[in-house]
Amino acid sequence: MENWIKVCELEDIPQLGARVVKGKSCEIALFREGDRIYALHDKCPHKGGPLSQGIVSKGRVTCPLHGMNIGLEDGRAISPDEGCTETFSVRIEEGAVYISL
Amino acid sequence: MQKLKLVVVGNGMAGMKVVEELLKIGPDLYEITVFGAEPYPNYNRIMLSPVLAGEQKFEDIILNSLGWYEENGIRLHLGKKVLRIDRQRRIVEAEEGMEVEYDRLLLATGSSPFILPVPGRDLDGVIAYRDIQDTEKMIETAEKHRHAVVIGGGLLGLEAANGLRLRGMDVTVVHLASWLMERQLDRHAGKMLQCELEKRGLKFLLEKKTEALLGNEGRVCGVRFSDGGEIPADLVVMAVGIKPNTQLAESAGIHCNRGIVVDDTMQTFDPKIYAVGECVSHRGTSYGLVAPLFDMAKVCANHLAMMGIGRYAGSFTATKLKVTGIDLFSAGKFEGDEHSEEIVLNDVAGGVYKKITIRDGKIVGTVLYGDTVDGQWYFRMLKEGQDIGEIRGNLMFGQSHLGNAGHEGRVQASSMTDDMEVCGCNGVCKGTITKAIKEKGLFTLEEVRKHTKASSSCGSCTGLVEQILASELGGGYSPKTSAEKPLCACTEHTHADLRKAIREEKLLSIPEVMAFMNWKTQNGCSTCRPALNYYLISTWPHEAMDDPQSRFVNERVHANIQKDGTFSVVPRMYGGITNPEQLRRIADVADKYRVPMVKVTGGQRIDLLGVRREDLPAIWSDLDMPSGYAYGKSIRTVKTCVGTEFCRFGTQDSTGLGIMLEQAFDRMWAPHKVKMAVSGCPRNCAESTIKDVGIIGVESGWEIYVAGNGGIKAEVSQFLAKVKTKEEAMEYSGAFLQLYREEAYYLERTVHWIGRVGLDYARSRVAEDEENRRALYQRLLYALSGERDPWKSVVERERKPLFESLMVEA
């Protein structure tokens, strides 16, 4: 059963930007592109860079450390980069953002 | 929407490149049908020589597998010739009565080898060297027969001859001219090449005209020349040139003149029909090398995708022979005339010959033999029409920057073994690069960067990677210059185009630029957004929107990201001067926030390393010092020596001027980082000669040097002007920096910008034109007026979402 947790309002996440959610076990990056929100483990599969600090565009984020491109939808590195980072389910309801851990 | 029908005649490199590009930019526009005369998927024709030489297999050189066509929904008809085009009904007719309709037709029919009209040309064992079938035939013949004769001592002929020799045949090359590759080499280089190839066991007959091929029971057995001489031959390879395949176009009444005539959009005289590749004649020229074909393909795809931008304006081509162990390079008009001069280096014993042909102070051609390291450099200057006046004396000795740092001083990729490291940043060996080029069919520096990461960080190994590309691809490699390259894959426009549009159309935000310049992507990418953001704020200070989401993390959070995701904090200390009170505060902050490392930087500042993002605002508040901008494409520091205040040798107040400069130009964004220094005497203790702007005090005033660099490639700065007072030093430095801010491309350091535009240009605008200097300086002061300290702004803000994390219980 999915356990939805409210984390913030949609407006708290800047357009083409990100916020970091700190949970007990890991840090999650919430990205916003348009009115879509994506949640990824805030750790690049390459060398562990904080993806939340990267530049967001066309459904991907560019890691600030070495420029790996990670798909926001599935957490997979965009070819020719390789690797994958964990994704989480996101729901937007009445302007609030919920994630499922 | 109903898809349009695109029919492609020709399944070779040019045609498929158009399809690949088209799928990228307009994937849903067309239903695509491809006809190929050969029974194979698209393969890398320029790799046939390595296949012949036994260095690669056919499977290795396939570019698009049959699966690729299927995945992209392309209907592929292999081994089927197109016989006729009916332009009225817009139909192509192929063998076996097949008919396919088209809305757009792309002709990429390539070229055919020219066969000498001599008796015996139809005999068994007489072939051309054009496709994989020819190659296989040659390999097969080499197993059974002994004598091979290659007619034609050009690029292709020599590669064929070399391959056959490696396969164990006794090979004679017959050539009409008096030296080899006479269109690419001068006599001297041609003779050196011949000498080297003779050492490898090839034989040459020059100035020989073939009169007849002799046969025995239907198979070739010899060659007879016009002087009556004869030699035995079990295999004759004709490599005397190619001719564009225009029969199909001609039979349909499309205008041809040796090739299919196209305009700059690759359109033929029938607007529904496009043509690319070796079959076309563009501005009276046909090309047989791969780089121009790819340029054509990009333009053609753009027009097929109805984007309507991009023109093909012709290509300069350079030649390199793909014979392992032989280095030769040629480009342009290397044969001089009465208006040109030549610089020649001729080391007979060392096997090195270099010739550069110059006209009106510019390189117009070059031939290099034995040492081709600088070929691409000369070629680039040739293409850009760069004035070589200033570097003429050193031209022959090369660029010598390749691999300055991190490659054990190596400058020649060919002397490296596969396990040697090329890219010191990302740990990429030569073998990894050559393997990726071969297996993944890479053609450009960008592709190598993407696939292997080599040369994608500091870029110091770019020269080595380009050499590897050139030696793998031969004539297939042609480096683009930054002036002609689009900014990124989101646009067709160059940096220069974009700067111009932003200035002339007064564009004030990234969405405005993207709309006006027909961006291909909705939000751009991590390459174009930071560049556009800089162009906007530097062109329209106080008016354009600064978009934090289009800045790299460091500039967004005003701190330098470290490998573990923590940050470093460097407070401003003007001129490198501090006091006990500041030092106490720094010490207190380091204690309070348990800063793991405190370090003195190369620019005479103090760096607090390992700070968590959440702690940044509090640390800035406690420090109560301005941001040192150690993280930005901006003024970093002005390094100073002690100067007259204490130093017994000092002739000028270097600390005083350093503080003035740093205070005046504080918070100045630039295309890249800017480092400055002021030394109080010619002993130059502040190292002014490796700075973007370096000033040296002398008894009678200040000498201003610019465009130095101490990083990857150490570059000594060049003299800009000498002035008397501190105020003048400020104005000259400021004007130079403003010119750089207004005209350089994003991520171009002053040294590269000056390399591109020339120091004379900067001198004429800054030193020699007083009115312009003042205007530049005023524009800089205006841009900087009212800029607030970024740390203070964050500290004063009530909410700090960039720095605070959201907490959840789970």
CATH number where A74 lies: 2.102.10.10
Coil vs helix vs strand at B534: helix
**Chain A residues touching B553 at Cβ < 8 A:** 53-54, 64
Q: Which one of B525, B613, B810 has the shortest CB-CB distance to A23? A: B810
Domain count, chain A: 1
> Model confidence over B266-292: pLDDT tens digits?
999 999 999 999 999 999 988 887 778
Q: Of B628, B652, B655, which Cα lies nearest the Cα of B639?
A: B655
Annotate B727-760 with DSSP letters as a single string. HHHHHHHHHHHHHHHHHSPTT--HHHHHHHH-HH
Q: What is the pLDDT of residues B505-539, one digit of tens each?
A: 999 999 999 999 999 888 999 999 999 999 999 99
Q: Do A55 and B808 touch (CB under 8 A)?
A: no
Of B187 and B389, the structure prediction assigns the larger pLDDT to B187
Neighbour order of strands in the sheet with A96-100:
A4-9, A96-100, A87-93, A36-41, A27-33, A18-22, B806-807
Q: Establish if B71 touches chain A: CB-CB under 8 angstroms.
A: no
Report which residue type is found at B614.
E
DSSP structure class, residue B283: T
pLDDT exceeds 90 at position B349: no
- The ranges of chain B annotated as CATH 1.10.10.1100 are 413-476
Query: Which chain B residues contact residue A53 at CB under 8 A?
Result: 553, 556-557, 561, 565, 613
Contact B117, B111 (CB under 8 A): no
Cα–Cα distance between A99 and A86 in angstroms, integer?
13
The architecture (CATH level 2) of B4-110+244-304 comes to 3-Layer(bba) Sandwich (3.50)
Whether the pLDDT of residue B607 is over 60: the answer is yes
Chain A CB within 8 Å of residue B337 CB: no
Three-state SS for B136? helix
Cβ–Cβ < 8 Å for B539, B499 = yes
Q: Chain B contacts of A7, Cβ < 8 Å?
A: 806, 808
Nearest to A62 among B526, B548, B801 (CB): B526
Answer with the residue of higher pLDDT: B184 or B635.
B635
Beta bridge partners of A98: A6, A91
Closest CB to B525: pick one of A5, A58, A99: A58
Among B residues 556-575, those touching chain A with beta carbons less than 8 Å apart? 556-557, 561, 563-565
Q: What's the CA gap between B412 and B373, in Å, rounded?
A: 6
| Between B410 and B387, residue with greater pLDDT | B387
What CATH superfamily classification does B126-240 receive? FAD/NAD(P)-binding domain (3.50.50.60)
- pLDDT in the model for residue B462: 78
Banded pLDDT at B324 (limits 50, 70, 90): low
Per-residue pLDDT, B483: 57
The pLDDT tens digits for B255-267 are 999 999 999 999 9
Quote the tokens at residue B61: 């050189």
Tell me B494's DSSP state. Answer: B
Q: Which of B550, B806, B810 sits opposite A20 (nearest CB)?
A: B806
Q: How many percent of chain B have pLDDT more than 70?
A: 96
Distance from CA of A13 to the nearest CA of B (A): 8
Domain with CATH 3.30.413.10 in chain B: 634-788
Task: Return the minimum-mean-pLDDT range out of B357-366, B397-406, B495-504, B702-711.
Answer: B397-406
With beta carbons under 8 A apart, name residues in chain B contacting A20: 805-806
Q: Please, are residues B404 and B460 in contact by the beta-carbon 8 Å criterion? A: yes
Q: Which domain holds residue A42?
A: 4-100
B491 touches chain A (CB under 8 A): no
Domain B413-476 has CATH 1.10.10.1100: yes
- The interface predicted TM-score (ipTM) is 0.91
pLDDT of residue B801: 82
User: Given CB atoms, is B524 within the 8 Å cutoff of chain A?
Assistant: yes
Choose the mutation target among B806, B807, B809 for the interface with A, i.e. most A CBs under 10 Å.
B806
Quote the pLDDT of residue B390. 74
- Computed over every residue of chain B, the mean pLDDT equals 90
Structure confidence by residue, pLDDT tens digits, A9-65 = 999 999 999 999 998 878 999 999 988 999 999 999 999 999 999 999 989 999 999
Cβ(B475)–Cβ(B319) under 8 Å?
yes
At the fourth CATH level, the homologous superfamily of domain B634-788 is Sulfite Reductase Hemoprotein, domain 1 (3.30.413.10)
Per-residue pLDDT band at B76 (split at 50, 70, 90): very high
| B403-447 confidence digits (pLDDT tens) | 445 555 555 677 778 888 888 777 788 889 988 888 888 888 888
Reply yes or no on whether the pLDDT at B10 is more than 60.
Answer: yes
Cβ-nearest to A5 among B450, B801, B810: B810
All residues of chain B having their beta carbon less than 8 Å from the beta carbon of residue A47 are 563
Radius of gyration of chain A (CA): 13
What does the pLDDT read at residue B410? 56
Question: Distance from CA of residue B555 to its chain's centroid?
Answer: 28
Mean pLDDT of B680-704: 95
Contacts of A27 in chain B (CB under 8 A): 805
B234 three-state secondary structure: coil
Contacts of B2 (CB under 8 A, 6+ apart): none
Which residue numbers of A have CB closer than 8 Å to B's CBs? 3, 5, 7-8, 12, 14-17, 19-24, 27, 30, 33, 47-50, 53-58, 62, 64-67, 69, 80, 99, 101
Which residues have a Cβ under 8 Å from the Cβ of B130 and sit 6 or more positions away?
Answer: B112, B113, B242
Strand, coil or helix: B579: coil
- Per-residue confidence (pLDDT) for residue B774, from 0 to 100: 97
The confidence score (pLDDT) of residue B24 equals: 87
CATH hierarchy code of domain B318-395: 3.30.390.30
Q: Above pLDDT 90, what percent of chain B?
A: 67
Give the integer Cα–Cα distance in Å for B486 and B496: 9
Across the interface, whether the CB atoms of A20 and B805 are under 8 A apart is answered yes
User: For residues B287 and B594, which has the higher predicted lDDT (pLDDT)?
Assistant: B594
Which residues of chain B are in CATH 3.30.390.30 domains?
A: 318-395
A24/B810 CB distance under 8 A: yes
Closest residue on chain B to A22 (Cα): B807
Nearest-Cα distance to chain A for B519, in Å, is 12
B523/A55 CB distance under 8 A: no
**DSSP output for B28-76:** TSEEEEEEESSSS--B-GGGHHHHHTTSS-GGGGBSS-HHHHHHTT-EE
What confidence score (pLDDT) does residue B531 get?
A: 96
Contacts of B524 in chain A (CB under 8 A): 57-58
The DSSP annotation for A27-78 comes to EEEEEEETTEEEEEESS-TTT---GGGSEEETTEEE-TTT--EEETTT-BBP
Give the nearest partner residue to A57 out of B451, B525, B561, using CB atoms.
B525
